[in-house]
Amino acid sequence: MMTKEFKVSQQELDRLIGQIRQRFDVEMVPLRIGEETLQILHLANLEEIFLGLLDAESPTVSDLPFWAKVWDSSFVLAYFIGTQPVLPGRKILEIGAGLGVVGVYAARRGHRVLITDVNDDALLFARANVLANRCLNAEVMKLDWSSPELDTRFDTIIGSEVVYDRESYPLLVDFLRRALSPDGTAFIAKHGDLQAPRFFSELTRFFKFKERRVPITSSDGCQEVCLYAIRHKEPAAVGAA
């Protein structure tokens, strides 16, 4: 029997998809991660969009819709978070969520999740995917690392492919200093081929980290995803100027 709550969610999902279809060619596809099969709304012509932008004159990093791709690192991070115990009262913060795949999977595994991004289009898709997967324990919110409107710190922060833009490194590290609780852990995943020495140089001023390399097989062959567990060096000093 369809509940009133489900009817409301379905109406909101239909409204969102209608709004999205006015600007984008989209499709809903099943996405298997671990023991869950998610229904994910994504761009049907993402490759064409990338090629068109790359052919444009002087495209910048911000012009490219990185938020619209489900990266290999998202599968690894989602599966990892999904295996972690669900702790009462804990809410996970996902940053740079894009389509929201990692946060949606975590919610489906029982975690409470705040899914965030700074891109308005990404937020539309993330909201649609939360509704499509009936994630009552997930919220979606716009978040700018330079001026975060957060009233709490988080014990767990997660992010997939959030270190591709070199200009954002100081902002990201400063955000983690303010948003991660003194004893909390941030889990960041990136493709093994992406080199980001400047990020880790900035990061290690305030944080310590451990790296785990996860081999995966995809359409591009055998790849590696790097998963990082990041913690404050000196919890008592967090928040100091």
pLDDT (average), residues 162-183: 94
Contacts of 46 (CB under 8 A, 6+ apart): 65, 68, 69
Q: Give dist(CA 54, CA 226) in Å, integer.
A: 27
* Through-space distance between the first and last CA atoms of the chain, rounded to whole angstroms: 55
What is the CATH number assigned to the segment(s) 4-237?
Answer: 3.40.50.150
What pLDDT band is residue 54 in, cutting at 50, 70 and 90?
low
> Could you tell me the pTM of the whole model?
0.88
Question: What SS3 class is residue 81?
Answer: helix
Give me the residues paired with residue 225 across strands: 191, 214
Residue ranges covered by each domain of the chain: 4-237
Which value, in Å, is the radius of gyration of the alpha carbons in the chain? Answer: 18
pLDDT tens sequence across 82-135:
999 999 999 999 999 999 999 999 999 999 999 999 999 999 999 999 999 999
Instruction: Dig out the tokens for 101 from the structure.
Output: 């795949």
Instruction: Dig out the tokens for 24 from the structure.
Output: 């984008």
Work out the percent of the chain whose per-residue pLDDT is above 90. Answer: 72
Task: Give residue 66's pLDDT.
Answer: 77
Res. 29: pLDDT tops 90: yes
pLDDT (average), residues 200-215: 95
Task: Give residue 62's pLDDT.
Answer: 54
Task: Give residue 137's pLDDT.
Answer: 95
